[in-house]
């Protein structure tokens, strides 16, 4: 009888424990469901904001007829681009090492949210955004009676495009004769413009790292001046600007593969 009573107590205890575990599981499921619902709401809100920002950017791009006008308009009237530009201006130049050289070790921090190296100090360190053959140089003829303000690279169809430097996205989308255009604020008054891609995968306001994939080339050229030259393959256009004025990007490109900086 004693053993039977003990067995009944054990069974009752296990039943109570099972009920308690079931209640905890139900509470956990309720919390998880609530968390998932909240995440979905946040995701939907974020996607709505991105869609709204993209529509706003497209609207602003139609109000200007120059790249400088686009940059100024975006960094003034677009909430995400303005915040990115403000962050870039307040960030200041990254500190160099004691010998005055850029701190390349800072590039290893993939969680960084500001440039690891000051743009002005990175000459000779940048990798070209895409593997290709240079077909036009800064200062040369643009093929339509003007002078090139950037460089053009003939690339393969579907090639991945990466960022040559750290920076904040202040424009991402179509713009007039440039096709899909990406503009980065690299801090210190420098902007990097990349055009001619088929698809861009980053959003306005986003901070991107050196060497980060940001776009994909199409199967044909999408820049009007290149189309006029009857290019048989997709061409990427890259332009550097300092305080609104196009500058020669030549000094910033690495001389060979071994010298390229990758984040």
**CATH number (domain holding residue 156):** 2.70.70.10
Determine the length of the chain: 263
Q: Is residue 254 part of a domain?
A: yes
Q: Is residue 203 part of a domain?
A: yes
CA gap 214, 114 in Å, rounded = 17
Paired tokens of 235: 């061409």
Cα-based angle 215, 89, 237 (whole degrees, multiple of 5): 30
pLDDT value of position 261: 46
Paired tokens of 186: 């690299």
Q: How many domains does the chain have?
A: 1
The model's pLDDT over 201-254, given as tens digits with 9 standing for 90+, comes to: 999 999 999 999 999 998 877 676 655 455 668 899 999 999 999 999 999 999
Residue 100: half-sphere exposure toward Cβ, Cα within 13 Å? 1
Q: Is residue 7 part of a domain?
A: no
Question: 44 pLDDT band (50/70/90 cuts)?
Answer: low
Q: Is residue 14 part of a domain?
A: no
Q: Is residue 20 part of a domain?
A: no
CA gap 170, 79 in Å, rounded = 10
Q: What are phi and psi of 61, to 5 degrees?
A: -65, -25
Q: Which domain holds residue 86?
A: 67-259
Q: What are phi and psi of 229, to 5 degrees?
A: -90, 5
pTM: 0.76
The model's pLDDT over 91-108, given as tens digits with 9 standing for 90+, comes to: 766 766 666 677 778 888
pLDDT value of position 104: 79
Q: Is residue 16 part of a domain?
A: no
């Amino acid at each position: 009888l004693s053993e039977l009573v003990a067995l009944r107590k054990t069974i009752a205890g296990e039943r109570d424990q099972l009920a308690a575990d079931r209640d905890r599981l139900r509470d956990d499921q309720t919390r998880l469901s609530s968390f998932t619902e909240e995440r979905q709401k946040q995701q939907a809100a974020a996607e709505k904001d991105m869609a709204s920002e993209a529509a706003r950017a497209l609207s602003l791009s139609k109000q200007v007829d120059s790249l400088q006008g686009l940059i100024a308009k975006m960094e003034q009237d677009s909430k995400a681009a303005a915040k990115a530009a403000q962050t870039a201006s307040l960030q200041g130049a990254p500190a160099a090492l004691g010998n005055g050289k850029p701190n390349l070790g800072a590039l290893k921090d993939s969680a960084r949210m500001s440039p690891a190296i000051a743009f002005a100090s990175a000459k000779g360190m940048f990798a070209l955004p895409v593997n290709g053959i240079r077909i036009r140089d800064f200062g040369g003829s643009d093929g339509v009676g003007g002078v090139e303000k950037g460089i053009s690279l003939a690339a393969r169809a579907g090639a991945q495009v990466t960022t040559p430097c750290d920076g904040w996205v202040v424009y991402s989308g179509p713009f007039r004769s440039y096709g899909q255009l990406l503009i980065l604020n690299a801090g210190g008054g420098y902007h990097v413009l990349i055009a001619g891609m088929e698809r861009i995968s980053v959003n306005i306001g986003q901070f991107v790292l050196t060497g980060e994939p940001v776009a994909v080339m199409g199967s044909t050229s999408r820049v009007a001046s290149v189309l006029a030259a009857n290019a048989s393959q997709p061409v990427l256009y890259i332009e550097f600007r300092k305080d609104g004025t196009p500058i020669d990007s030549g000094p910033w490109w690495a001389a060979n593969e071994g010298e390229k900086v990758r984040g």
